Amino acid sequence: MSNSIPSIELYAAPTAGSGHGDHTDAPRSFRPALVQLVLVRWREFIREPEALFWTFIFPLLLAGGLGIAFRNRPPETVRVGVLVAPRSGAHANASINVGATTVPPAALDLPAILKARPTLAVDVFTDDSAAVRALRTGAVALVVTQTQPGMAAYRFDPSRPDARTARTLVDETVQRAAGRRDPVTVQERTISERGSRYIDFLIPGLLGMSLMGTGIWSVVFSIVTARTKKLLKRLVATPMSRADYLLSFIIARFVFLVAEVVFLLGFGTLVFGVPIRGSLGSLAIVCILGAFSFNALGLLLASRAKTVEAVSGLTNLVMMPMWIFSGVFFSSSNFPSAFQPFIKALPLTATVDALRAIMLQGATLPAVAGQLGILLVWLVLSFTIALRIFRWR
Could you say which of 75, 161, 179, 239 contacts other proteins (CB under 8 A)? 239
2 binds other proteins (CB under 8 A): yes
Tell me the DSSP string of 35-83.
HHHHHHHHHHHHT-HHHHIIIIIHHHHHHHHHHHHT---SPPPEEEEEE
Binder to other proteins among 91, 136, 194, 229 (CB under 8 A)?
229
Ramachandran quadrant class, 364 (left: phi over 0; alpha: psi -120 to 50; beta: rest): beta
Number of residues that bind other proteins (CB under 8 A): 44
Closest distance of CB 316 from other proteins, Å? 25
Q: Is 66 in the site for other proteins (CB under 8 A)?
A: no
List all residues 6 or more positions away from 269 whose beta carbon is below 8 Å from its beta carbon. Answer: 275, 276
Among 71, 91, 234, 306, binds other proteins (CB under 8 A): 234
State the Cα–Cα distance between residues 363 and 277, nearest whole angstrom. Answer: 8
Minimum CB–partner distance for residue 214 and other proteins (Å): 17
Nearer to other proteins, 194 or 233 (CB): 233
Q: Are strands 78-83 and 142-148 parallel, antiparallel or unpaired?
A: parallel
CA distance 383 to 296: 5
Nearer to other proteins, 50 or 182 (CB): 50
Report the C-alpha gap between 376 and 368 in whole angstroms. 12
User: Which residue's CB is nearer to other proteins, number 26 or number 191?
Assistant: 26
- Which one of residues 136, 160, 233, 391 is an interface residue with other proteins (CB under 8 A)? 233
List 73, 181, 189, 393, residue binding other proteins (CB under 8 A): 393
Please tell me whether residue 10 adopts helix, strand or coil conformation: coil
- State the Cα–Cα distance between residues 228 and 234, nearest whole angstrom: 11
Least gap, CB of 220 to other proteins (angstroms): 16
User: Is 37 or 291 the residue whose CB approaches other proteins more closely?
Assistant: 37
Out of 47, 73, 181, 189, point to the residue binding other proteins (CB under 8 A): 47
Task: Give 79's strand partners.
Answer: 121
Asked if 149 contacts 103 with a C-beta cutoff of 8 angstroms, the reply is yes
Amino acid at 239: P
Q: Does 231 bind other proteins (CB under 8 A)?
A: yes
Q: Which of 133, 230, 306, 391 binds other proteins (CB under 8 A)?
A: 230
User: From the CB of 212, what's the least distance to other proteins, in Å?
Assistant: 24
By CB under 8 A, name the one of 33, 60, 130, 376 that touches other proteins: 33
Outline where the chain has alpha helix (H): 32-46, 49-52, 58-69, 87-101, 110-115, 128-136, 161-177, 198-228, 231-236, 242-272, 280-302, 308-325, 340-345, 347-361, 369-389
Question: Which residue lies nearer to other proteins by CB, 13 or 69?
Answer: 13
Residue 243 binds other proteins, judged by CB under 8 A: no
User: Is the CB of 107 or the CB of 226 nearer to other proteins?
Assistant: 226
CA–CA distance, 339 with 352 (Å, rounded to integer) = 17
CB-nearer residue toward other proteins: 160 or 229 = 229
Q: Which residues bind other proteins (CB under 8 A)?
A: 1-2, 4-8, 10-14, 16-17, 20-25, 32-33, 35-37, 39-40, 43-44, 47-48, 226, 229-231, 233-240, 393
